[in-house]
Amino acid sequence: MSAKTIDGKLLAANLRAEIAEGVARLKAERGFVPGLAVILVGDNPASVSYVTAKEKACAEAGMLSREIRLDADIAEEELLAKIAELNADPAIHGILVQLPLPKGFDEKKVINSIAPDKDVDGFTPVNVGRMMIGEECFLPCTPHGIIKLIEFSGMDLKGRHAVVIGRSNIVGKPVAALLARRETNATVTLCHTGTIDVASFTRQADVVVVAAGRPGTLTGDMLKSGAVVIDVGVNRIPDASRPKGFRLVGDADFESCSAVASAITPVPGGVGPMTITMLLWNTLESAKRR
Ligand code: GUN
């Protein structure tokens, strides 16, 4: 089997066009546009590139994008004060603090200081709790984007077996929870670094979501024929032939997985564009609720 590529850029473009229409409608009917504040502390190159992409997408959708850049050595109180100011700012409907924060910051405390009704990342304990018990909330962007990508691939998840590899708070745990929700109705296995034989689980899977942060975590011999693969990994591999000196690869070995799977997301161009799209979606939702 040669897998079809699940085009995250195409799905993202379709959804972003819908979001832009929603923004224009809000502006026409209520006289304001959604505002997203993006806070970056320090200059981690991957984080710089992510937040730049988020700000660009925000502006392209017609939203207000407020960029806040802070030095890695600022006091935590200064960051908390900035978040408090944004919590109270009526022009801002979404606040995002790019993770990971530099060493020395109490990430939990910082995330907890974001007002839950502006937490468009869906990272605060209030939104995580609401998601777990099925209350209205901001769904976390990457997991929500993954569900949309699987649906876009044509797979009906009801009654299917989904195996998630990785138990991070940002991807693994929430995507497992979303897959198991009644409206999605997949049966879910969550594999992690403590799993003895990951392949014994992935070989039973109709869908594998790999979010381990390690290239080569999933290979074709670990898949059942016709499985759908969602690759969340973004790993920089040194490559002197590229202008930037590196290339991006996922956690799945694309070539061997493509030979066995029925559909697979590429890296880049799969999950990444959907994460940003669902962030815009949540920001528009937040503004509409106002
Ligand atoms: N770091 C990696 N992914 C994300 C994300 O979706 N949101 C934020 N705030 N930080 C991240």
Q: Is residue 126 part of a domain?
A: no
> What single-letter amino acid sits at 56?
K
pLDDT reported for residue 63:
98
Does the pLDDT value for residue 120 go beyond 90? yes
> What share of the chain in percent tops pLDDT 70?
100
Q: Residue 51 corresponds to which tokens in the numbers above? A: 């937040």
The domain total for the chain is 2
**pLDDT tens across 41-96, in order?**
999 999 999 999 999 999 999 999 999 999 999 999 999 999 999 999 999 999 99
**pLDDT tens across 225-274, in order?**
999 999 999 999 999 999 999 999 999 999 999 999 999 999 999 999 99
Give CA–CA dist 64/133, Å, rounded.
Answer: 32
Give CA–CA dist 277/213, Å, rounded.
Answer: 21
- 31 Cα to the center of ligand 1, angstroms: 30
Q: Is residue 21 part of a domain?
A: no
Domain of 258, CATH number, reads 3.40.50.720
Q: Is residue 252 part of a domain?
A: yes
Q: Are residues 182 and 262 in the same domain?
A: yes
Contact present, 274 and 14 (Cβ < 8 Å): no
Question: For the sheet containing 64-70, what is the strand order?
Answer: 64-70, 35-41, 94-97
Write the DSSP symbol of residue 139. P
| Closest CA relative to residue 18, chosen from 196, 241, 198, 285 | 285
pTM of the model: 0.96
Q: Are residues 109 and 154 in the same domain?
A: no
Strand-pairing partners, residue 229, are 208, 264
Q: Are residues 150 and 268 in the same domain?
A: yes
Q: Is residue 241 part of a domain?
A: yes
Q: Is residue 261 part of a domain?
A: yes
Q: Is residue 1 part of a domain?
A: no
| Catalytic member of 82, 118, 119, 121 | 121
**pLDDT tens across 201-233, in order?**
999 999 999 999 999 999 999 999 999 999 999
47: buried, middle or exposed (CB in 10 Å: 19+, 13-18, 0-12)? Answer: middle
The pairing of strands 246-249 and 235-238 is antiparallel
Kindly report the protein residue whose alpha carbon is nearest to atom 8 of ligand 1: 98
Does the pLDDT value for residue 287 go beyond 90? yes
Q: Are residues 268 and 156 in the same domain?
A: yes
pLDDT reported for residue 100:
96
Q: Are residues 154 and 260 in the same domain?
A: yes
Q: Is residue 11 part of a domain?
A: no
Q: Are residues 108 and 157 in the same domain?
A: no
How confident is residue 174, by pLDDT bands cut at 50, 70 and 90?
very high
Contact present, 282 and 272 (Cβ < 8 Å): no
Q: Is residue 59 part of a domain?
A: yes
Dihedral pair phi/psi, residue 210, rounded to 5°: -110, 120
Which residue segment(s) compose the domain that 167 sits in?
141-272
- 35 Cα to the center of ligand 1, angstroms: 18
**Unique residue bearing structure tokens 């032939």:** 241
38 lines ligand 1 (CB under 6 A): no
- 98 Cα to the center of ligand 1, angstroms: 5
170 lines ligand 1 (CB under 6 A): yes
Domain of 63, CATH number, reads 3.40.50.10860
**pLDDT tens across 94-106, in order?**
999 999 999 999 9
Does the pLDDT value for residue 1 go beyond 90? no
Q: Are residues 152 and 222 in the same domain?
A: yes
Q: Are residues 87 and 171 in the same domain?
A: no
